[in-house]
Structure 1
């Protein structure tokens, strides 16, 4: 089972909350829901292999103690026999993805007039563009399949206390996270593990990830303020945290008499300011924009003389998007995004300005039972890209099946090109109840 801090206690809490007897459910008006799913994929980009057959049982319960106090408890169990009994993946990957139990959103809601309080494990979404994360800085992410999973599965909820204030066209939000949940990057040997740079003639190894455990280095806090002005939805925020993304700290030494670079995934403190803007222009057209300034994040450098192989750089990211839904069956989304590195280091892999574009289109045919869609994301600096055709068949209101492909192309040092061996086709079946 994957090693997560305090995992056994959290799973026990989730099971206790989900184990609601019929009598208690009737007394508290508890609603039970969930889904069963299977996701099977075959990877053909490099060495051909079955890369998953993940079976998920998701359970959720919601209820209320009074008109002003309600709750939710949810979690899932996952089992992947393809990975667990694979001859392709190392033992650590088999342990990491073979069987998992995870508490999902599990919280208590309290309404106090203009204030809403939420305590517990929750998703906190501060930005939502298509295909990639930009202003959505609070959520941790399951990156074991890069950005190929649905956002519902990509986001990992945080254990947090959140207070929201609503008054007319004004909205304020305060967030405190005492113990952070970090991105799950998986284990070396997995298809989408984010390997740091290798150098010819030197040994190479990766140690276990170092995550802060308690204290000031393992909490986060933020504030977000929003207004609606002449139809413009404007939100600004400040967020201080330990970076949920790891940086690979490097050291050099002899291992078994061989000069070796040793990498350790670590996390450091960062600060982020963000702005999101949205406007319904009319005729089904919506404009969205997000900008995020990040202070203190660390990046790899290809300079062996650098002691830890990392440099701290401030960055500015922004994305502009247009979303057009001319009718209930069609949707077209276009985005342009850039990242600026302040005081760019010439030995960094990214250039001083990185640019990209994305396109998403979906439609519905055959009485809305078939939903073909396509996603294309391309980096303009290196010409690397991600193409994702997908077809969903809505068999019934509760049952759907999806078929698709994930194709990545580009040079090995590029965002998508580093995972060209991960090209795959897949099928998914999901039953909601």
Structure 2
């Protein structure tokens, strides 16, 4: 099975590479670019492991066969220490995680009234700073913090992605259809972030569920968008394997417990609404998810219950005034039902504020604050972005998490840190 899946992926990649490197296509246009980035953090918590690192790289080639037909090929890799840095239940030694994988790799055909893409790609259905409730299509690397760039946290998904466009006078819109024959799962936080002290064992181990064989499980969804008189409205639905797992008991000793991941089919539906008034951008995302399984414990036994969730946010992006700009967000996630000793709370509500100061020459100073209402959690990030030249960005800053013991934000306290990062872009 693994060999067959590898053969399918390799064949698909080789076809794309052949299309983009065929010697006889002298009229084709090529663009090769990418970036290399590295971040080094010094932790401020006593129980942390002194330092953390995160490095990324992306190599990309865009090929234009014609004005209508293009291909994109990406290769990415990441290396980090986030699993051991975040862990609170056990105290493993410092460990680097290394992942090399295909980024977006697809062929795209575009006409005047429709566009189609097939291959590994990222589809964004809603994005707000820190909370991307409507961004449900792609799995994500959840090990990154609230302040991570969503575009870097997304993981590509094999999709057929078709979109048609329509317009009549001032009214315009689009109709999008998505189909995936190969569901993929998010990279989750360490299990003890969710379980807390619900288990007596000192060490928790998780057996990851493998990606389903191609066409064994399929995902399907659609979105209709419309714009009129400054209003942008989108309605969407997507049936898919839950990107986040629930856990089944596998084995246990007095000191160790092993859990097995499982992902079940869920369905999310919702809408996004945006309106620009005097350069202020108001936006709301509302997403309802059905048949979601959540873990809880009873007498140290692991169980699940089925529920529905409602996620909603309202955001306001302000225009730039005297080189200042800002973002305000209210976000709320609610479960219909809850059990005692659940892996998550029934209601999670946050306020997010971000202010940026333009220092000129693309330099910027930024301050962000997140407040968690239910359990009085807090998070602060500030950084200075200082481009060295057109190809290199330097960033200096810090991010800190604190609050009540039950707060979600305090779960990230081990990665409270000051950091320095550098990102270098290149184009061949």
TM interval, shorter chain, is: 0.7 to 0.9
Report deviation, 1:247. 1.8
Q: How many residues align?
A: 414
**Structure 1 gap ranges (5+):** none
Relative to structure 1, the CA distance from residue 413 to residue 222 in structure 2 (aligned partners, 3 Å threshold; closer, same or farther) is same
Does 2:140 align with 1:141?
Answer: yes
Q: Which residue of 1 aligns with 2:317?
A: 323
Contact 1:410–1:420 (Cα < 8 Å) also in 2: no
Q: Which residue of 1 aligns with 2:290?
A: 295
Q: Which residue of 2 aligns with 1:276?
A: 272
CA distance in 2, matches of 1:285, 1:38: 35
Report deviation, 1:314. 0.5
CA distance in 2, matches of 1:80, 1:243: 25
Relative to structure 1, the CA distance from residue 238 to residue 328 in structure 2 (aligned partners, 3 Å threshold; closer, same or farther) is farther
CA distance in 1, matches of 2:209, 2:401: 30
Does 2:62 align with 1:68?
Answer: no
Q: Secondary structure at the match of 2:406?
A: coil
* Candidates 360, 373, 384, aligned match of 1:380: 373
Does 2:152 align with 1:156?
Answer: no
User: For the aligned residues, what is the CA RMSD?
Assistant: 3.3
Relative to structure 1, the CA distance from residue 205 to residue 394 in structure 2 (aligned partners, 3 Å threshold; closer, same or farther) is closer
Q: Which residue of 2 aligns with 1:226?
A: 225
Q: Which residue of 2 aligns with 1:105?
A: 104
Relative to structure 1, the CA distance from residue 403 to residue 92 in structure 2 (aligned partners, 3 Å threshold; closer, same or farther) is closer
Contact 1:272–1:292 (Cα < 8 Å) also in 2: yes
Q: Secondary structure at the match of 1:125?
A: coil
Report deviation, 1:81. 9.9
Q: Which residue of 1 aligns with 2:248?
A: 249
Q: Which residue of 2 aligns with 1:337?
A: 331
Report deviation, 1:323. 0.6
Relative to structure 1, the CA distance from residue 212 to residue 16 in structure 2 (aligned partners, 3 Å threshold; closer, same or farther) is closer
CA distance in 2, matches of 1:243, 1:330: 39
Q: Secondary structure at the match of 1:41?
A: strand
Relative to structure 1, the CA distance from residue 11 to residue 356 in structure 2 (aligned partners, 3 Å threshold; closer, same or farther) is farther
Q: Which residue of 2 aligns with 1:420?
A: 413
**How big is each residue's C-alpha offset from its partner over 1:122-179, in whole Å with a ceiling of 9 and x where there is no partner?**
1100001111221100111112234343222111111111000111112111001110
Q: Secondary structure at the match of 2:412?
A: helix
CA distance in 2, matches of 1:295, 1:228: 28
Relative to structure 1, the CA distance from residue 211 to residue 403 in structure 2 (aligned partners, 3 Å threshold; closer, same or farther) is same
Relative to structure 1, the CA distance from residue 144 to residue 341 in structure 2 (aligned partners, 3 Å threshold; closer, same or farther) is closer
CA distance in 2, matches of 1:155, 1:311: 28
Q: Which residue of 1 aligns with 2:40?
A: 40
Q: Which residue of 2 aligns with 1:50?
A: 51
Contact 1:33–1:59 (Cα < 8 Å) also in 2: yes
Relative to structure 1, the CA distance from residue 278 to residue 254 in structure 2 (aligned partners, 3 Å threshold; closer, same or farther) is closer
Q: Secondary structure at the match of 1:109?
A: strand
**How big is each residue's C-alpha offset from its partner over 1:307-347, in whole Å with a ceiling of 9 and x where there is no partner?**
64221110111101111023594321101122222133344
Report deviation, 1:120. 0.7
CA distance in 1, matches of 2:178, 2:281: 28
Relative to structure 1, the CA distance from residue 37 to residue 115 in structure 2 (aligned partners, 3 Å threshold; closer, same or farther) is same
CA distance in 2, matches of 1:36, 1:203: 38
* Candidates 399, 403, 416, aligned match of 1:410: 403
Q: Secondary structure at the match of 2:270?
A: strand
CA distance in 2, matches of 1:313, 1:76: 36
Q: Which residue of 2 aligns with 1:131?
A: 130
Contact 1:40–1:52 (Cα < 8 Å) also in 2: yes
CA distance in 2, matches of 1:82, 1:165: 41
TM-score using structure 1 length: 0.85
Report deviation, 1:203. 6.3
CA distance in 2, matches of 1:328, 1:23: 53
CA distance in 2, matches of 1:25, 1:90: 53
Report deviation, 1:27. 3.4
Contact 1:237–1:274 (Cα < 8 Å) also in 2: yes
CA distance in 2, matches of 1:162, 1:320: 28
CA distance in 1, matches of 2:180, 2:414: 37
Report deviation, 1:195. 4.3
Q: Which residue of 2 aligns with 1:361?
A: 355
Does 2:173 align with 1:170?
Answer: yes
CA distance in 1, matches of 2:215, 2:204: 30
CA distance in 2, matches of 1:339, 1:146: 18
Report deviation, 1:186. 6.3
Contact 1:370–1:393 (Cα < 8 Å) also in 2: yes
Relative to structure 1, the CA distance from residue 268 to residue 52 in structure 2 (aligned partners, 3 Å threshold; closer, same or farther) is same
